[in-house]
Amino acid sequence: MMKRRQFISGLAAIGGSYLLSACGGGGSEDAGSSASPVADATARASATSASGTTMPPAASITDSTGAVWTLSKGSVYRNGVMPGNNYNVTLVLYYNGTIYHQGTGGQFYAWNGSQWVACNDPRLGGTSADGTTLPSSAYIVDKQGAIWTLVNGVIYKNGATVGNTYNVTTVLWYGGKIWHCGTGSQYYVNAEVAACWLACTDPRISGAPTAGSFYGINGHYDYTYTPAQLVTILKSMGCTSYRVGCTDDPNQLNAVIKIAQAFQTAGIKLLVLVNQGLWDSNNVWLGTEAKAYTRAYTCGATVANALKAYGVTIYECGNELTRQSATIIDSTNAGTKAVDFNNTNWPVMRGVMRGLIDGVKSAQPTAKCGINFCVADIGAADALWEGMAPNGTGGYPKVRWDITTWHNYEVYGDIFNIGSDGSGPGFDLPTYCKARYGVPFIITEWNTGPEKSEAYRANYVTTQLGEFYAARKTHNIQSVMYYVLDSGDSTYGIMVNGTPLSPTYSAFTSFTAAHADN
């Protein structure tokens, strides 16, 4: 068997020689059947070889079926017959009941009974443990099975360089992403916008926002509940924050002003969604970034001017703008790539976001502005933050927010292990956002689907609140806002006309009562 020192030394060399070539693999059972020149190749042995046995140094390997595998002149034989098309083989490995071989190019292949299938060296193990670093580990295996190595300060993925890296001192596998830090102490994360690496902070650093607004819930400006009734309801539920949306339409805005007045004296935080979209009040497309910016600026300034006297300090600037039919190319995409979004309509969306933020700040400079995203829209978030467009061009106005806000319905997946485009391996989205944008994180809408039973919903509420609560101080989560207080029926609401829906309501209130918002 290969000594451990030799094995680790070989891994370190992977960075310069790991090629996904056809050498030593490929083909099927029918591709070749040449007899081995080794006379005793067809002999059967009585004992199965130990897992981890290699040729060389072993002369043969006996698998669990009793078949004898040999290596002669760079080809693998099974009972004297070449299985599939293989050549330039330098190593044969028997591991956990499977035969593998490696060619001169470094690529491993596994025999599946009919053909050789490209794979990693099985001795590397599965996905590396969260927090694995180079050094001290010799390699990192990500969730897709790719092998990351660090050679002379340069990062390699399966033997190929990844972007332009140099003087790298640490490579980190954390939260489903690859990060690195160099001699200048700046961290970068492997991303899919513009270059391969985007600046960030060390994702392992915990961030704890100010306590006192963690338990939140959504409502609407046109509820029949009076502001005083809302205060009573929220306090009985243990809620410390409330999200409500409006535009600068006087009827909507006046209703929200009354809520803000009541909440100010009751000590409940009000997050106001400034609900300006990509069309004007007459449903006319805003058309250009300049027009979008001007309209949104007016709306943001009007709303903030009206509410700043009543203790409102947080404004969410637009609602699911990245998920409009005009902005997302395919709504089934997770949004992890910038190219998931419509490049033509992107400037209008960016103009609305920028206009709302600037409008709010013009009226209330100390206000905090959030931009919300859905599913796993880091492709959109990164592009906006960096002043990029979906087509990869740059130099555009950057959208910078004070709070990252997100919507996380059950169908989107677990936000701490949310899937990538193509249902790829998950990653920890709040950790990514914490490190990338350096601002607090609020989940402004969360729930399961409208078709679920109350028993299912109650269990989901308990489970999700437990997950959110456990992560609040490590992931910089300021608030999680259930959607919704009253939907008029049992599709989403937690009550109807003031009557709690059981057992969902009980699950929510039991959790808030047992877990302090501190």
Nearest to 240 by CA among 480, 472, 457, 477: 480
pLDDT confidence of residue 35: 43
Residue-level pLDDT at 29: 37
Q: What is the pLDDT of residue 422?
A: 65
Q: For residues 180 and 159, what is the distance between their CA atoms, to the nearest angstrom?
A: 17
DSSP E strands, 448-494: 477-482
Residues in contact with 20: Cβ distance below 8 Å, sequence separation at least 6, in sequence order: 105, 107, 118, 158, 159
Cis amide linkage into residue 37, ω under 30° from 0: no
Report CA 442 to chain centroid distance, whole Å: 15
Distance CA 411, CA 340 (A): 19
pLDDT given for residue 395 in this prediction: 97
Q: Digits of tens for pLDDT over the chain (518 positions)?
A: 344 334 334 444 444 433 333 333 443 333 333 444 443 444 444 699 999 999 999 999 999 999 999 999 999 999 999 999 999 999 999 999 999 999 887 888 999 999 998 888 899 888 999 999 999 999 999 988 889 999 999 999 989 999 999 999 999 999 999 999 999 999 999 987 555 899 999 999 998 888 899 999 999 999 999 999 999 999 999 999 999 999 999 999 999 999 999 999 999 999 999 999 999 989 999 999 999 999 999 999 999 999 999 999 999 999 999 999 999 999 999 999 999 999 999 999 999 999 999 999 999 999 999 999 999 999 999 999 999 999 999 999 999 999 999 999 999 999 999 998 766 789 999 999 999 999 999 999 999 999 999 999 999 999 999 999 999 999 999 999 999 999 999 999 999 999 999 999 999 999 999 999 98
100-131 confidence digits (pLDDT tens): 999 887 888 999 999 998 888 899 888 999 99
For the domain 215-514, what is the CATH superfamily, name and number?
Answer: Glycosidases (3.20.20.80)
Hey, what are 212's tokens?
């006192």
| Residue ranges per structural domain of the chain | 4-124, 133-190, 215-514
Diameter over CA atoms, the chain: 94
CA distance 127 to 50: 24
Query: Both tokens of residue 195?
Result: 């270059």
Residues 6+ away with beta carbon under 8 Å from 319: 245, 273, 275, 277, 372
Nearest to 415 by CA among 477, 489, 348: 477
Measure Cα distances from 192 to 246, 279, 380 in Å: 34, 30, 10
pLDDT at 119: 85
* Closest by CA position to 321, among listed 283, 363, 279: 279
Quote the pTM value. 0.85
Strands 368-374 and 403-409: parallel
Going across the sheet that includes 177-182, the strands are 133-134, 168-174, 177-182, 187-190, 197-200
User: What per-residue string of b and e applies to 360-381 under the rule 16 or more CB within 10 Å gives b?
Assistant: bbebbeebbbbbbbbbbbbbbb
Q: Say how far apart CA 372 and CA 300 lie, in whole Å.
A: 15
